Amino acid sequence: MRIRSPRRPRGFTLLEVLISIVILVLGAVAILPLFAVGAQSHKRATDQVHTSLIAPRIAAMIQENLTGTNPGDLKDAQFVEYGREYRYDAQFARLPGTAGDPLADAAFALRVTVKWRESGADHVETFETVVLRRFPPPVSGRAARR
């Protein structure tokens, strides 16, 4: 006759299941704040991309209308794009080292500061470029003789 050893029950005990659930919940609670940080970082990156796309468009728009030799700065001008209202300032400066150059009044350093408000906080990005003023079209020979 063969003696059987007592049979072990198969499966997990209630205590083992509770311990594993507690460990899982602690891990989830530790990771949860990372989602908020990731979403905030994504939003900030999206805003920076939008402003880096808007600033050259603003500079091109300013250059298209730039005909004077002494342009005035712009303050709190409005630009609506991507479903949001942006404000911008534009400051002109002479390029350094152009004294005595006959085309010194044709090129300017332009600093565009794009501003927007979100969640009660002001955000600002600044971009710099060089713009050229538009010269009036030359008078043709026949038109000048008339």
Neighbours of 55 (CB within 10 A): 24
Q: What is the pLDDT of the chain when averaged over all its residues?
A: 85
So where are the chain's domains? 14-138
- pLDDT reading at 145 higher than 60: no
**146 band by pLDDT with thresholds 50, 70 and 90:** low
Three-state DSSP string of 47-61: HHHHHHHHHHHHHHH
Question: How far is the C-alpha of 13 from the C-alpha of 19, rounded, in Å?
Answer: 10
Are 87 and 101 contacting, i.e. CB atoms less than 8 angstroms apart?
Answer: no
Report pTM: 0.66
Q: Model confidence over 51-85: pLDDT tens digits? A: 889 999 999 999 988 887 788 899 999 988 878 88
Lowest mean pLDDT segment, chosen from 16-20, 43-47, 91-95, 98-102: 98-102
